[in-house]
Structure 1
Amino acid sequence: MTAIDWMTGAGRVPRWAAATILALAVVFAGLSLATPKYAFDVIYYLGCAFKSTSEGDWPEVHRQTYDHLRKSVPEDVYRGLTESPPGIGPYRSTVAQDPEAFRQQLSVACYKLGFVLPMAAMAHAGVDPYLAARILAAIPAALAFALVGLWLAGKVPAPLAVPLAVAGLFAGLFQTARYEYPDGMTALAIAGALLCFAEARLRAACACFLAAMVIRMDAILYFGAFLGFAVFLASGDRRMRLLEAVGWGLAALALYAVIAIPLGTPGYQAVFTHSFIFQQPYLLTTEVTVTPAQYVEVLVRQVQMVAAKSGKYPMLIALALLAFGFSFRNKALRPYGETALLSLLLVCFHFLFIPWFDTRYYAAPYMFIVCCFGIVAWHVGRARFGKVETN
């Protein structure tokens, strides 16, 4: 039994369906690489890579980073990434001009070791650093799609599994794969965790959450929400004993400390202020305090922004609640309803602390909401109109 079989039940998947899903994953990766987002924070990941390969001081690393950025993106994109537009604070232009501001900003990038270390290793091996960032975003996201697609093909008929996987892909994973960010890798780890939870492999799920933390430390919020759900809301063999959850929680805190403390990462208040109140260029040396009133004001503003952005978010909330409701009294379907509800709660808990609405943070939970709803809806529909077969 391979690891894929163990996680997904892929041994029951028709060969044509597996081949289709894998082919779509290759196409997905190619499209993602061909249509980059040119996102701002790639500057910092490039800086981390050049710092690891350069013997120069910070001004030299700063120069190398921006020189490489200019060669890697179209000229109009470069101007957008390095010049602060009128009416906006001078953050981007300051970081582009001041090596010290640049150095301080790298503190929020270089500690994402699961992304930065492979990127630096690829740069050491001669791979263009910008291309390395794009590869490390697109390929893991495509693997996440393939993993979930194979899993789906073991839960519903293969002709339904393929379009359902594609629907889950466009819930956010495709957009995520186009960013030159660690979110594609994070999506793979979180997808693995949610899949393991659905299959009642709790220790493997916890290991996946810890892997996600190495990629993005804020994944500790996902892990905390998962442990709470597994202890107090999950049923059957997906329920975790409280003492075991405490042990995993302490392991997560220890991992956080081992990475964050030596690397001097900025505190929560500094990052919150920078992200939601004022983008201070000098992230490490600017003293800030976030009051409860400021936090509430930001949270309310961000919720309103999400509500006005599109109808996708209310729809995903509805799908998660419907999946859980329809499966509540069906023991065979309960794992998928619980996984959909867990996915929704992961998003909510993360948003409570870091109220960004950007889809790339939540690509894996969004995909599982869509896919788990599809599984439940299929089997409930079959039960209503004919004999149901539950895997």
Structure 2
Amino acid sequence: MDLTANPALEPFRAEVRSFFERDFPKDIIEKTARGQSLTTAEVRKSEMALGAKGWLASAWPSEYGGPGWSLEEQYVFDEELERAGVPTVTPMGVIYVGPIIYTFGSDTQKEKWLEGISSGRDGWGQGYSEPESGSDLASLQFSAVREGDEYVLNGTKIWTSAAQHADWIFLLARTSREAKKQEGISFICCEMDRPGVSLHPIITIDGKHVLNSVTFENVRVPVDYRIGEEGKGWTYSQFLLGFERTSYARIGGKRKQLSHIRRLASAEPTGGNTRLIDDEAFAQKLTAADMAVDGLEMTVLRVLSAVKDGGSPGKEASIIKILATETAQQITTLYLDLAAAHGQRKFADSVSPDWTGHTAYAAPGVATYLGTRAQTIYGGTNEIQKNIIAKRVLGL
């Protein structure tokens, strides 16, 4: 897809850009630009602003509450959202569990959950990883024992992103131990405020509260909170993971970061130093990052172009996951290079206050660098993704 060469998309792009510039809450954009975390109320405000426009569930078919956009329109929307500095949509609801519900859920479940997700009213968390079941997710031990018309949930889920903002959580739970480990797993939903559910924050190396562990002690949920058939949760989870791994691409955000880095590196220092952009080694790194984003974008377009009728991106999404996360780390490393070079110039040349103003990016830049170290681990480590590509894509 050559999106830039399609003039038919320009009115749509202008509409999306105008909304973000004029109508989207400016306080949310400003706080995000400062590198500050949003409160739960601010997350809801941000996502309900998109939901009120009908744009939060941007990839959903219109019959389920989405805008029914073409693939090209979805791509333009994502690009403009990130260009405007709008917070990335919390993916657990609209990108992960929403398609599971409208693909495999009952009519009652669709009516119960989809509107709350697409409007931004209800937040969701994802209960997959466990303390002893990370990359080998199929070895999970979290249990759901059926007692009449209820399941009794016991166990701990960990690395649960944004669970502190969630009203609901979807879980992979073992409902049978008689089959091989990929079988006997069911896909179950639960309110976060159910008796017996407790949340424990995990503060990451960048100083932020993004992750959590969530413990379940004899938590009772109705059987009709199970999506699809009992014991088929592994199948549904693989469908979901295709959406998760393509969601890491964030092309627009990466281009915005590179533009910011280029602007900082092009600033004129005092004291006779040359601009960092004129340093050959740094310029080569910046060019390599530009090329990596171009390659990532083309790969995303190829994978998404092959998706038919709302299906999952499938096993090829592992390619995107590797490229997207490694490119994110490549870009954020440039912030460290900038900080190091600017620090040396300030120390060596007693740089004027005007120049020190340029280093305001350093603290949030380093935090971003530290945060991206986790990207090649979560969502299935990149080593696991390479195994998937070797076995399921290349057939080795």
TM over 0.5: no
Higher helix share: 1
Higher strand share: 2
